[in-house]
Amino acid sequence: MGAPSLNKKKKGANGVKPPAKKKLKNDLFAEKRSKKDDILEESDDQSEDVEELEESKMEEDGTNDSGSEVSSDGDDPLADDFLQGSGDEDEASSLDEDSDSGSDSDSDSDESDIEQKSRAIDEERARIEEEAGAEMQLNIKEESDEFRLPTKEELEEEALRPPDLPNMQRRIREIVRVLSNFKALKQEGTTRKDYVEQLKRDLASYYGYNDFLIGALMEMFPPVELMELIEAFEKPRPICLRTNTLKTRRRDLADVLINRGVNLDPLSKWSKVGLVVYDSQVPIGATPEYMAGFYMLQSASSFLPVMALAPQEKERIVDMAAAPGGKTTYIAALMKNSGVVFANEMKAPRLKSLTANLHRMGVTNTIVSNYDGKELPKILGVNSVDRVLLDAPCSGTGVISKDESVKTSKSLEDIQKCAFLQKQLLLAAIDMVDANSKSGGYIVYSTCSIMIPENEAVIDYALKRRDVKLVPCGLDFGRPGFIRFREHRFHPSLEKTRRFYPHVHNMDGFFVAKLKKMSNSKPTSVPTEPSETEEQLSGPEEDSSEKDTVEETQNQTEAVENNVVVENGHVKNKKRKSPSSSKKIKGKWPSRDEMPRTREKRTKRKFPSREEISKKREEKREAWRKKNAANKKTGK
């Protein structure tokens, strides 16, 4: 009976003690949970608290185990040996449970620590992003999207300081943006003129243009395209070569230059002889191939007039402004050194480069002359050639990337002088061409200018003065010419002309027009109502002569039709008399039959020769010397 009672006691003891251990463990876990909460608040001391918690846990577990053993021994000392094994098993099982729970708690605490750190990092990142967004919104509120023009006081202060280029560039961009959508972005109380004037001032000071040129460009292009054009003028155009087909082929030339370290490609689909050079390890203008005349350094825009002219073999062709010879040698190459090419250059110093290039390129069918282009019809003969190329002297507003002095050196007077000269040269070119030529009868007019008075206005003038018409240039790219510009109206066929821009075609600004001569006769009638463009752009001598001719013709016609005679400023009615009797009357207007003869006599006026002029000058000088000598004698 004792043994069962002991067993009951043991069972009772065993049944009572485990809850105490569980309670102790729960207290420990509660302690751990409270310390975890502290760890969450103070992340810097997490690792130290976890180590202290583990040490205290191990100590408490050891004391609890020893206390349980003492109590069991005190209750039943006789059953030590009998119950020794079961006690050890219970202790081992309790230790295993404690170690398992400790390892689980350690793993849980580590995971919770990582989660807390990641949450803290995410919260910090979200806070930084939120602050950045708030700051950006604050900046947006401070700087309103509406652009405001500077006031007069601000402009005066800005003029006293050194130019602020970044601020000026930002203002230019903002004004261009406002002008592109003026109704939605304009400032209240301001007009488009205010924005345009401010943009004009900023562009002139930022890029270095004078007021006239920047104003002319602003009239021709919208603001966005104007900025593209001006930026294109600030960059150099690609270096181009033209293969001399008299001596080599483009493929062979490209292979040789690539072996010399030149990086190049074919120019474009529209040219069969052009090459564009990106970079070179050797001077591209001093290679043995250049010296041998295998190629010519020539801009891509200079190809276009010759391609439009389309010279044929065995023709008579005139290049009125030939130096330095790029276009002339291209014409000779297309003609395969057949026929005759008259290369004229008015400036004698430029003849050296022209003749040197002709010899270097192997041209043998060219005659070089040094005449004023306006006198060529008298020298070569009227209606004597098949085709004429007139690359007229111009203001050079299309090649600003090569010559930046154009920005400040050109004015309205310069444009008018160039236009006046170009009209005279174009009429001389038309007079030289034979309209009855079997293969020719064409005139190509080109300039390296983008100004309308030098291009469309000159062609429109020629269409009214000569029996010619515009034909397609044969170039499948390029923008059509203007048929209206502001208050000016030009002939509708000017759409067949072609304009080339650096920001569109990546070549110099250029204009090309091709004319076909319909007949060799010159129209005798002078238009009584000249166009506005002609009145503004023609020279003073031309305007006065045209007006005088028109007034004389009208007065003569009215006098003859009304049978009147003008004597000493008074008009008298008379009966119509025969031409012989009308000649005898002093002050009477000639009849209709005599008018053409009078006009012929007026146009065939004979000027004195150089010898006669020099002789008269010597006579005047001699008379002046004698007079001075006589005055000296009388003074003595």
| Catalytic residue numbers, as ranges | 448
Residue with tokens 């009227």: 382
Per the DSSP assignment, residues forming a β-bridge with 387 are: 317, 442
Looking only at the bridges linking them, the beta strands covering 340-344 and 366-369 are: parallel
Residue with tokens 């409270």: 34
Angle at 505 between CA 499 and CA 509, to 5 degrees: 45
Report cis status (omega within 30 of 0) of the bond before 324: yes
Distances (CA, A) of 119 to 38, 43, 112, 116, 370: 16, 12, 10, 5, 90
- How far is Cα 25 from Cα 101, in angstroms, rounded to an integer? 9
Looking only at the bridges linking them, the beta strands covering 239-243 and 274-280 are: antiparallel
Buried b (16+ CB within 10 A) or exposed e, 418-435: bbbbbbbbbbbbbbbbbb
Alpha carbon 352 to its chain's center: 35
> Tell me, what DSSP letter sits at residue 221?
S
Identify whether the C-beta of residue 628 lies closer than 8 Å to the C-beta of residue 595. Answer: no
Residue 532, token pair as written in the block: 């506005």
Dihedral sign for Cα 498, 503, 506, 510, please. positive
- How far is Cα 527 from Cα 538, in angstroms, rounded to an integer? 15
Q: Hey, is 447 helix, strand or coil?
A: strand
Identify whether the C-beta of residue 351 lies closer than 8 Å to the C-beta of residue 345. Answer: yes
Task: State the Rg of the chain over Cα.
Answer: 50
241 membership: H or E segment, kind and range: strand 239-243
Q: Any residues with CB less than 8 A from the CB of 180 and at least 6 apart, and which?
A: 222, 223, 224
Residue 320, token pair as written in the block: 């009125």
Distances (CA, A) of 66 to 26, 72, 87, 492: 19, 10, 12, 118
Residue with tokens 């009429």: 427
- How far is Cα 462 from Cα 452, in angstroms, rounded to an integer? 15
Of the candidates 239, 238, 261, 264, the one whose C-alpha atom is nearest the C-alpha of residue 251 is 264
Buried b (16+ CB within 10 A) or exposed e, 150-168: eeeeeeeeeeeeeeeeeeb
